[in-house]
Amino acid sequence: MTAPRRLAALVLHSSLAALAVVAPAAERELPIHRPGACAVAPRPGDTVSLAHAERHLGITYDVAVNRSHRVGHQTLRIGGFRLMLATSVPVRPDEARVAFAACGLDEGIQLRPLLVDSTGEELSYSPHEADLLLTGGRGAWRDWRTCVFAASEAGGAQQDIYESSGGDDNAWPDGSLTLIGFEARLIDPEGDKSTALRKQGTITLGRVVLAPSMLAEHDPVCYADACFSEAGRYRVAIEARASFQGLPIAEDVREIAYDPADPLSRGQRLVLNDQGQRLSWIRMRAVRDGAIATEWERRWERDVAPAATAPATIDPDRAPAIGRMRFNPLANVGGSYADGQALRVTVRVFAGPAPRTATLRWSLAPMAFSKALAEGEERVDFAGKPFRDVVVAVPAGQSGAAFTLQAVLAEDGAQVDRGEYRFGVSPATIPALTSRVGLTRGRAYVKNQPYQRTTYLPPEGQRFPDIDAAVAHFAAMLDQTAAVTPYVTYMIDLAEFEVLPGVYDLDLLDRIHDAAADRGCALTIRFGHSQQNSPYRWHPYTRPRTWDGAAAKGHHYYGAFAVADEEFVAGWLRALRVVHDRYARHPAFQGYYLMQPSGEWNVPDQPWNGTITGYARVDATAFRRWLRETVKLDLAGLNARWGCNFASWDDVLPPAPDFTGGTRPDLRRSWLDFCRFKRSLEEGWFPRVCAEIRGYDRDHVVIVYGGLGDDAGRDVLLEHADYLHNGGNHFLQGEGGLTAAWERGLGWITEPHHPHRWAAYGDPAERGWVLDWSVFVMTAQAGGGGANLHVYYHPSPSLGLVAHQGGHNALDRMQQYRPILGELHGMRLVDVPKQVAVLQDDDTLFCKHRTVFASRREDLRRWFELLKADSVPFESFDAARADRYKLLVLNPLDEVMGGASLETVERLVKAGATVLVSGRAGRFCPDLGTDEYPLLRRLGIAVPTGEYRTQDSAAPATVAGASALFPAGASLPFYSQADNARDLQDPAIGARFFAWPYRWIPRSDYFGRFAQARPGGEVLASFADGGAALSVHAVGKGRAVVCWGTPRINAPELAGFMSRLATWCGVVDPSVGRAIPHMLEGRNQQLNRGYVLLYQERAGSYTVKIPSAGDGEWFIDDMVGQQRFGIHSGAELRERGLNVTFVDGCPPLKVLRLMPSGEIGGDWAKTFRAPSP
């Protein structure tokens, strides 16, 4: 059964359209399995052979895996061969992707469709696994499909969409396409770390089709080799339910012969009937020779409207298709019992084909543990009846709210059925736990000092036998880490908390709180979810949908769920309220650590693999509500805004991305509205849940995993949250962005990106100084509000805390920094008003990259790192401080800028500021239509008329005459797409990929230069063709410095350019051009102490001036390295500076403390150094 799908309002190759309900377009099957249809092209020394059979093609190979190949940040060692079509297949206009079935593939063996475009450019498309109900192990049969051929990121090749080479080499499928075959790619996961090897195996290629762009919802399906492993004839019984543990709505029994040696037998498709339900639970059991061979249960979800009425269920008096037992067939069917209701489970046992007495053996255990608390056995005599009911009760006096019943039915000593049933109590109210008394260390208490935390990690994959073992393991962690910090986060998977509707498994969490209180510790509770480890059993959810109808998979560990699904989100909000109601009066309860409910991101866009989400039915409903309530549009206003003629709000659907423009941005107003709606989904969760918590809890800590977000939610977080929490803080960005937040009581918690280890990776030089670098970064961002650390902890009862010290764990260094952070906690950074601002506009992310993926925004702003390299302090543009800016630096990759940004630039420059801009910045403005270069036009600068050349490798410009910015004759290197393509394959760049300024930027058209630009103004540098490379233009009272191309960010010739530019603009800041760029100054007014943080990885001696040093005499020491510098006068420190030496092998961070010399309390201070006369 297939369901037609509501298409997005804007589909590929179409203009704006109203709602359409269409049947799936036809697929064209390619007869690739026929003899002569294709041939292999192996590399020298490799052997590949073909075996043609009915409806499949066997490909046996023995190939060397010895070629180096770079993809993004990975250096792979690959081998492979080509399977070329004897007759190439032109792609028709309605055909948008290749889909195929195959076995013998896995994460290290790919079969990549090969196409060529009209210029001869070859495109190798990445295969993506399609949805199946169940998949087998490595090499099992699977369905694969490419992204649509036109999909890209920013109109260029991206690692998991396609790779390109040859032809016009523009990394884009131009004109008509032709399918020429497949590339088989074998990948050594060790990359360049391993020696060359050979791989042998067989790929079996089944059905191959050219398919349309839109994907239809379909019935649950799986291949036979996902269900069986051994040869034989199986009786397969299948049940479908419309709710967890509900009565079946459909049952089926079929016979299947299976032979694992036969690819066709392995590739039998089992299509299962779930009656088209939005959510269904599918159970299968296969019996061979009278014994259970395999069984499983899976959920299936479709993005369709829920049924208006509940589906009819199977007669519970009828024998089931699977086995001979039904649990609670008449009452409490799903397993939820009301308060006070007897916990008794009815097991309905059905008679077999031959009348005989059966034995029911059962065991009852707490749902969270494996050890049985009761067991029993009952003889079942049917006495000629079709079934008998056996009642199993929870023993009187047994504590607990959630249980698992395991039942085994046997006849003549042989097992004939087995089953599991989960049940528990759904209370009307949650009583408060008051088993301990004592001080509650809530939000006001913890902010008086650095907030250092650990998170308890239970043994992965291990299930404790009973509650005592689980509590003992947690207590061992507390006993070890209490010396580091008494503050601990306890993680709970939501699927293991509300285990059935309204049933909360609180027994363990009660004991955990008591154990923490007994040890003087306090807990923050973190709900999360791992679909890989603890899949949702009963919780309703919607999987995010991409524009073409595919379900977005998200992160393999977390999964992905639509945050616009209010029924799904309600489960997260309920759980938080239950925690409050249960533990708010317990002294160990400190608060809540809030995560996204929907996976790694609330909006799981992954532009590098073509995943652009927001197209589930719940998203469409939320989008319409956002347009009405947030944008304040009525239907007439929307029609005018979008240029449409919708008759009803029900006709309004999310627009699909328009990939057909390639590198040209999608400037539709509807698309921008949709992207801003998605951004609201991404950033709206935390303000919403914080406000909800504060509606019932004003006292406990609220930690938010993420940043401040957009303006709409910022004030809510500042009012209600206590700490923001990152997941690794290794990139120096957002300096000063959280200092004002700390003044309002919102702190900043940092953990290592490898969350268990403080010396794994992430420091700039990759030498294990992760904690030192993190301290510098978090202080630069939040001042004293950043003096908070967190790390995960694996208890080692036999080894203890010492086992986590030294090496890559380095927990001892976290303890070393504890008193240092105690001082920094009371420090305020010296705030020199910034006279340099940077401006980045998200419209480029939305319109050119067609996504809201926030991390890509950081990849696109690496140009601003030139300011950091030259020690030029700057901040993101703030309209409230616009009158102080003397230099405004635009992002040269901001090809699309909104009208407000253009007005800001024009206003500042005409008022006297200088703007540094690329000729391509502001090339489009969605608010002004499709006319090009509105920014240059506003500034009165002649727009370029020559070609923008992206394939000129290493095109330098030459400075004509001496200026304040460059000496005469200086060479200015510019960067092109050709340079970028070459760099992507450079092993040296690969080794330092995360520090490379062009990391993750797709092969678009960002990098290049204008040919023969004649902009007027004063030309400072020119290309070899005589065109301007760098020019200066008077604009009102200010001026514009324009780059007519993209300078190479990491070129040594650009060193000092930003500091010279700042000086030329009249920027007055004592830190410009300082000896150590990574330098912070701060003061603790209460203690009358000054602080200087210096981070320098290059060993040597440096003279550091300290502009903030006050008058008087100061004793200086380094709190990290414990070096004492003696007494210096403020005038010496400001004018002559302090000599500091960084030694290779010693920490690259120095935290200099300046104490009034009179407070040292001893004459020994002068023995280190006394002030010069």
Pick the CATH number of 323-329+345-424 from 2.30.40.10, 2.60.40.10, 1.25.40.10, 3.40.50.970: 2.60.40.10
- Domain spanning 1079-1167: CATH superfamily: Golgi alpha-mannosidase II (2.60.40.1180)
SS3 977: helix
CA–CA separation, 77 vs 425, rounded Å? Answer: 55
pLDDT for 18 equals 25
CA–CA separation, 774 vs 758, rounded Å? Answer: 9
Compute the average pLDDT of residues 889-908.
96
Asked whether 546 and 616 are in contact (CB, 8 A), the reply is no
CA–CA separation, 1098 vs 1111, rounded Å? Answer: 31
Q: Count CB atoms within 10 A of the CB of residue 987.
A: 10
**401 pLDDT more than 50:** yes
Of 750, 882, 863, nearest to 817 by C-alpha is: 750
DSSP string, 157-189: BBTTTEEEESTT--SS--S--EEEEEEEEEEET
Q: Which two tokens stand for residue 1127?
A: 């007494």
Buried-state track 1041-1079, b at ≥16 Cβ within 10 A, e below 16: bbbbbbbbbbbebbeebbbbbbbbbebebebbbbbbbbb
Residue 129 confidence class, pLDDT cut points 50, 70, 90: very high
* Topology agreement, domain 323-329+345-424 and domain 449-613: no
Assign domain 25-213 to a CATH class: mainly beta
**1113 pLDDT more than 90:** yes
Who's near 900: CB < 8 A, 6+ residues apart? none
Of 605, 501, 597, 517, nearest to 553 by C-alpha is: 605
Q: Please, where are the H alpha helices in 1005-1149?
A: 1057-1064, 1130-1135
CA–CA separation, 936 vs 902, rounded Å? Answer: 10
pLDDT for 713 equals 78
CA–CA separation, 1077 vs 1062, rounded Å? Answer: 15
pLDDT for 3 equals 39
DSSP string, 268-327: -EEE---TT-SEEEEEEEEEETTEEEEEEEEEEE-SSPPPSSPPP---TTSPPSSSSEEE
Give me the long-range contacts of 392-399 (CB less than 8 A, separation at least 24): 392/344, 392/345, 392/347, 392/362, 392/364, 393/342, 393/343, 393/344, 393/345, 394/343, 394/344, 394/364, 395/364, 398/373, 398/374, 399/507
Assign domain 218-319 to a CATH class: mainly beta
**527 pLDDT more than 90:** yes
Q: Mean pLDDT of all residues in the chain?
A: 91
**Terminal C-alpha separation, the chain:** 93
Q: Residues for the chain: how many in total?
A: 1173
Q: Which two tokens stand for residue 962?
A: 């001496």
Compute the average pLDDT of residues 187-203.
78
pLDDT for 798 equals 64
Would you say the C-alpha torsion 411, 412, 418, 424 has a positive or negative sign?
positive
CA–CA separation, 349 vs 389, rounded Å? Answer: 6
CA atoms within 13 A on the CB side of 786: 26
Compute the average pLDDT of residues 1090-1110.
95
Q: Is the pTM of this model over 0.85?
A: yes
Residues pairing with 28 in the sheet = 210
Which has more pLDDT, 751 or 995? 751
Compute the average pLDDT of residues 137-153.
95
pLDDT for 697 equals 97
Q: Which two tokens stand for residue 661?
A: 């423009």
Of 815, 1055, 1051, 1040, nearest to 956 by C-alpha is: 1051
Residues of the chain by 3-state class (helix, strand, coil), percent to 5:
20, 30, 45
Residue type, 269: R
Angle at 416 between CA 411 and CA 420, to 5 degrees: 120
Who's near 985: CB < 8 A, 6+ residues apart? 70
Provide the residue ranges of all domains of the chain, joining segments of one domain with +: 1-16+616-653+655-674, 25-213, 218-319, 323-329+345-424, 449-613, 701-779, 836-1064, 1079-1167
Compute the average pLDDT of residues 342-361.
92
pLDDT for 191 equals 60
Residue 1132 confidence class, pLDDT cut points 50, 70, 90: very high
CA distances from 1140 to 248, 312, 883, 1146 (A): 76, 80, 37, 13
Residue 196 confidence class, pLDDT cut points 50, 70, 90: low
DSSP string, 1051-1089: -GGGTTHHHHHHHHTT---TTTT-SSSSEEEEEETTTTE
Compute the average pLDDT of residues 928-956.
92
Residue 13 confidence class, pLDDT cut points 50, 70, 90: very low
**1063 pLDDT more than 90:** yes
pLDDT digits (tens, 9 = 90+) for 22-39: 344 689 999 999 999 999
Least confident of 888-892, 961-965, 1028-1032, 1159-1163: 1159-1163
Of 225, 187, 50, nearest to 110 by C-alpha is: 187
CA dihedral 1161, 1163, 1164, 1166 (to 10 degrees): 110
DSSP string, 716-770: HHHHH-SEEE-S---S--STTTTHHHHHTT-EEEE--SSTT-SSSS-STT-SS-H
pLDDT digits (tens, 9 = 90+) for 499-508: 999 999 999 9
**11 pLDDT more than 60:** no
CA–CA separation, 159 vs 444, rounded Å? Answer: 48
Percentage of the chain beyond pLDDT 70 is 97
**189 pLDDT more than 80:** no
Asked whether 889 and 839 are in contact (CB, 8 A), the reply is yes
pLDDT digits (tens, 9 = 90+) for 841-858: 999 999 999 999 988 998
CA–CA separation, 183 vs 66, rounded Å? Answer: 16
Pick the CATH number of 836-1064 from 3.30.70.1450, 3.40.1280.10, 2.60.40.290, 3.40.50.880: 3.40.50.880
For the domain made up of 449-613, give the CATH fold. TIM Barrel (3.20.20)
Pairing of strands 453-456, 487-493: parallel
Asked whether 1141 and 1103 are in contact (CB, 8 A), the reply is no
Residue 193 confidence class, pLDDT cut points 50, 70, 90: low
SS3 984: helix
CA distances from 851 to 159, 479, 608, 672, 1166 (A): 16, 47, 10, 10, 61
pLDDT for 12 equals 33
Compute the average pLDDT of residues 546-573.
93
Compute the average pLDDT of residues 573-597.
97
**17 pLDDT more than 80:** no
Q: Environment class of residue 413 by beta-carbon count within 10 Å: exposed (0-12), middle (13-18) or buried (19+)? A: exposed
Asked whether 1083 and 827 are in contact (CB, 8 A), the reply is yes
